[in-house]
Amino acid sequence: MMREFLVSSKKFFEDVKTLDSYTKSFEHLNSRLNNSILNEKDEKSIHNQIEVVNKRFKSLSYSLNEKINVSTDQIEQMENKNDNFEYKTLKIHLHAQTKALTAAVNKYRDAQFKHKAEEEEKFKLQYIIAKPGADEDEINESISGDQSDAKLASAFALGSNSAQGILEEAEKRKTNIKKIGEMIQELIEMMRILNEAISKQTDVVDKIAENLITAEENTAAANVDLTQALDYQIRATRIKRIIGTCVVVVVIIAILYVILKLNIFGTKRNE
């Protein structure tokens, strides 16, 4: 299982990078939408591209979330969890996967919030152009979706003669704002689920980490003891060598002394 999971994990993180690329594409399209002078056709084209990116992000993120659920079930079915190195390794990898997916979803959600705020500002501008006397509460009520399309049309009809064209744009923008809001809610729900998973995983991962730290400390202590023993052995060996050298020197001196004595004694006898 370990080998298969690690291969799958590598693919998982590659897919997370793909999610990040979707976020960058979304931000680029949103920037074009807000910083370029576009005709109706070009603006519609960008909105269509944004919708495609949204669908791809949603599909891939849901798929990765499901992979996490499947992996969680498989890992929890393993035996001897507490003493199983494979279980601990897989748990740590799964925790990293969940956090990576959460971060990717969070980035996309933030981009969606920004997009929604910009679309709402455009809607407000259209509303004020069509009905200059509208106040902030009326505009916000219209954006919130509580106001029906008929009421929106009625509000715009009370404005200038050119309000009909602006009304059509406003209705499209309001529909788009609603879609963005729904997308944001889906992302928030996914983040809630992922955060719950992270919370459950954290206790296990922290315990594993504590055990690893304890093991490292024990190993370090053993290494210290081994180092101390080695130092003692080296010092003892050096002392033995010094003592041995001294003994050899004393023996040599004694031999020389005896030889010298014998030579002196022999010379006297010859005399």
Structural fold of domain 2-211:
Methane Monooxygenase Hydroxylase; Chain G, domain 1 (1.20.58)
- What is the model's pLDDT at position 38? 84
What DSSP string runs through 32-57?
A: HHHHS---HHHHHHHHHHHHHHHHHH
pLDDT at 232 over 60: no
Mean pLDDT of 201-222: 51
pLDDT at 270 over 60: no
pLDDT at 103 over 90: yes
CB within 8 Å of 1: residues ≥ 6 apart:
74, 78, 86, 90
Buried/exposed code over 37-73 (b: 16+ C-beta within 10 A; e: otherwise):
eeeeeeeeebbebbeebbebbbebbeebbebbeebbe
For the whole prediction, is pTM greater than 0.75? no
Q: Is the dihedral of CA 75, 79, 82, 84 positive or negative?
A: negative
- What is the model's pLDDT at position 259? 65
- What is the model's pLDDT at position 168? 76
Mean pLDDT of 113-119: 92
What DSSP string runs through 108-177?
A: HHHHHHHHHHHHHHHHHHHHHHH-TT--HHHHHHHHHT-S-HHHHHHHHHTS-TTHHHHHHHHHHHHHHH
Mean pLDDT of 19-30: 96
Q: Percent of the chain at pLDDT above 70?
A: 68
Min mean pLDDT across 24-38, 73-87, 207-221, 246-260 is at 207-221
Res. 118 pLDDT band, cuts 50 70 90: very high
State which of 7-11, 56-60, 263-267 shows the largest mean pLDDT: 56-60
pLDDT digits (tens, 9 = 90+) for 29-71: 999 988 888 888 898 899 999 999 999 999 999 999 999 999 9
Q: Is the dihedral of CA 80, 86, 91, 94 positive or negative?
A: negative
| Euclidean distance between CA atoms 50 and 115, whole angstroms | 10
- What is the model's pLDDT at position 218? 42
Is the separation of the CB atoms in 131 and 159 below 8 Å? yes
pLDDT digits (tens, 9 = 90+) for 120-162: 998 888 888 777 777 888 778 777 765 556 666 666 665 555 5
